[in-house]
Amino acid sequence: MEGLMMDYQLTVPSLMRRAEQIYGAREVVSRLPDRSLHRYRFRDFVRRTKQLALALRRMGIRPGDRVATLSWNHYAHLEAYFGVPSVEAVLHTINLRLPVDDIVYIADHAEDRILLVDEALLQLFEQVRERTHFEKVIVLQATRPVPEGMLDYEELIAAEDPQTFVYPDIAERSAAAMSYTSGTTGRPKGVLYSHRALVLHSLGLGLAESVGLTGRDTVMPVVPMFHVNAWGLPFACVMLGAKLVLPGPHLDPASLIDLLAGEKVTFTAGVPTIWLGILQALDKATERPDLSVLRTMLVGGAAAPPSMIAAFEKRHGLRVVHAWGMTETTPLGTVSNLPLELDGAPDEEQMRSRARQGVSMPLVEIRARGESGIVPWDGMTPGELELRGPWVASSYYRSDEQGDRFTADGWFRTGDIVTIDATGSVQIQDRIKDVIKSGGEWISSVLLENALMAHPSVAEAAVVAVADPKWQERPLACVVLREGESATGEELREFLAPQFPKWWLPEEYAFLPAIPKTSAGKFLKSALRAQFNRPNEV
């Protein structure tokens, strides 16, 4: 028997109608390239989004067409987030930190028809201009006449009357947005987010069991809007009426702290490297910025070192919430909140639990597969994490590399090696390609890194496999020392010794001025492996 409920379609326009009717007075604050702050209200945002939608239609954009952005976090990019899906087109946020060849590849692969590009990024665009095939290029935030052959966004939308825009009826399963994986292995692969997935993911962000966003929050996504929809925060904030603070191109600790304090941010999100920088800046600050209303710093994309979580809490009274996700999972998959059972447990135990990647979001199911099948949830047996849920990809866009990532029974294989404990809390041991295989056993690079970063002299640490004639692979620790601090390899080894089996301990330590980072600000271990594994040794 069929249920008798409406088949209401979960679409991006449904979020916008609500924003317009209920949250018109809520604010969006953006830092511009010249460092000044731009402010407007949701009602202005919705109006301009409709104007963009009309302009796109006038330029011949049809349902299913791809419209690309090359843009930092700011109000005009937000307008594209909503304006493009409002005409059933697909927003393709190009990761501007990708190598130029990859940008050319993904623009071509996605068959993007139109590009919206920041004036501040025109130089980057010039590097790919000759090799890409956009029919039209529209410049955002132009402060001077736009280059020959391009259009000025402000002029374009000013010509449209927002009153004439009517939202089309959109089927919730149609594509609204797309992101490419950063291609740390092989070519980037395209993930197509449906309207339905974006809406359900937004609802997920509003659950108190995940991160509990509400309309009382002021949210600053430091995670770029060109990286997995800025973790879905723009969609969730518009759905819930939360004030948005968008930091533009200025991602240095001082600029971010200034916005956190000045705009009274309650919720912020980004990768660990951003927070490691902020932690050092706060530690050094002579005058404490007022961050008293900041309730959550959501950290994910790479493992948040437990020492960092503890340092923020103990030294600055700030709460880090650790989460895990991927481009293929929209991205939120697991969140680490303290389980009820650990209320009142000793600090250390609570911290150990919170430093894990946490429990899957409601509607997301997980399991892990080891060499002999699905592993028990015993917190010990490692396996590759698989998941399924309404915001998990079911396949890649036009790719030959599907086979090994999606199981026959409909789960997505993450490529992450995890253990899952009896409460369902996940701990990432490594990515399959980063795990160190020493004498047939696995050493977790992530656990060694976290332990090293707990040393008072260490700012950053990445551990990679180097070829070894006897053990096949051994761990090599690449270490960045804090300013003015010193430590030797011998000291670091002694520091690690009580925490790990002897055969886990790296013999080699390389002291570097910086760890190379990926386009998303994660440690670029492939570069370190290439640097320290000379070809004749591999």
Q: Which of 181, 327, 414, 419 is catalytic?
A: 181
Query: Is 386 within 8 Å of 412 (Cβ atoms)?
Result: yes
Distance CA 324, CA 337 (A): 12
Residue nearest ligand ADP, Cβ-based? 182
Return the residue of 73, 93, 141, 182 that touches ligand ADP, per CB under 6 A. 182
| Residue 487, number of CB atoms within 10 A of its CB | 18
Residue 276 as a binder of ligand ADP (CB under 6 A): the answer is: no
Q: Which of 119, 160, 263, 328 is catalytic?
A: 328
The residue among 215 and 516 lying less far from ligand ADP, judged by its C-beta, is 516
CB of 40 to ligand ADP, least distance (A): 30
Dist CA 263 CA 13 (whole Å): 28
The rounded distance, in Å, linking the Cα atoms of 109 and 227 is 18
- Of the candidates 428, 465, 476, 479, which one interacts with ligand ADP according to CB under 6 A? 428
* 416 belongs to the binding site for ligand ADP (CB under 6 A): yes
- Residue holding tokens 């600050």? 285
| Whether 437 is catalytic | yes
State which residue, 113 or 322, has the beta carbon closest to ligand ADP. Answer: 322
Residue 161 φ then ψ, to 5°? -100, 110
Instruction: Report if residue 506 touches ligand ADP, rule: CB under 6 A.
Output: no
Residue from 326, 368, 393, 443 binding ligand ADP (CB under 6 A) = 326
Using CA of residue 19, residue 21, residue 22, residue 27, what is the dihedral sign? positive
Closest separation in Å from C-beta 358 to ligand ADP: 8
For residue 69, state whether it binds ligand ADP (rule: CB under 6 A).
Answer: no
The 8-class DSSP code of residue 119 comes to G
Site membership for ligand ADP, residue 453 (CB under 6 A) = no
Provide the sign of the torsion angle of the four alpha carbons 303, 100, 222, 459, taken in this order: positive
Taking CB under 6 A as the rule, does residue 322 contact ligand ADP?
yes
**Could you give the CA distance from residue 48 to residue 71 in angstroms, rounded to a whole number?**
17
**Interface with ligand ADP, residue 399, by CB under 6 A:** no
Q: Contacts with ligand ADP in 108-137 (CB under 6 A)?
A: none
Cβ contact 150:125 at 8 Å: no
Q: Is 324 in the site for ligand ADP (CB under 6 A)?
A: yes
Helical packing angle, 42-58 and 75-86, nearest 10°: 50
Encode burial over 314-333: b for 16+ CB neighbours within 10 A, e otherwise. Answer: eebebebbbbbbbbbbbbbb
Is 307 an interacting residue with respect to ligand ADP (CB under 6 A)?
Answer: no
Number of residues located near ligand ADP, criterion CB under 6 A: 22
Determine whether 286 is an active site residue: no
Give, in degrees to the nearest 5, the angle at Cα 400 between 323 and 410: 50
Confirm if 170 and 13 have CB atoms less than 8 A apart. yes
Q: Residue 46's closest CA among 16, 4, 69, 3?
A: 16
Q: Which of 73, 181, 268, 445 binds ligand ADP (CB under 6 A)?
A: 181
Is residue 327 involved in binding ligand ADP (CB under 6 A)?
yes
Instruction: Choose the catalytic residue: 442, 471, 508, 517.
Output: 442
In whole angstroms, the minimum distance from the beta carbon of 404 to ligand ADP comes to 15
Rank residues 427 and 438 by Cβ distance to ligand ADP and give the closer one.
427
**Cα angle: 117, vertex 121, 127; to 5 degrees:** 100
Nearer to ligand ADP by C-beta: 85 or 270? 270
Nearer to ligand ADP, 246 or 323 (CB): 323
By CB under 6 A, tell whether 357 contacts ligand ADP. yes
For residue 18, the minimal CB distance to ligand ADP (Å) is 29
Name the active-site residue from 401, 437, 485, 488.
437
Report the length, in residues, of the chain.
538
Question: Among 178, 222, 302, 335, which residue interacts with ligand ADP (rule: CB under 6 A)?
Answer: 302
| CB contact at 8 A, 198 and 232 | yes
Binding flag, residue 522, ligand ADP (CB under 6 A): yes
* Footprint of ligand ADP (CB under 6 A): 181-182, 184, 300-303, 322-327, 357, 414-416, 428, 431, 518, 520, 522
Would you please indicate which residues are annotated as catalytic (active-site) residues? Answer: 181, 328, 437, 442
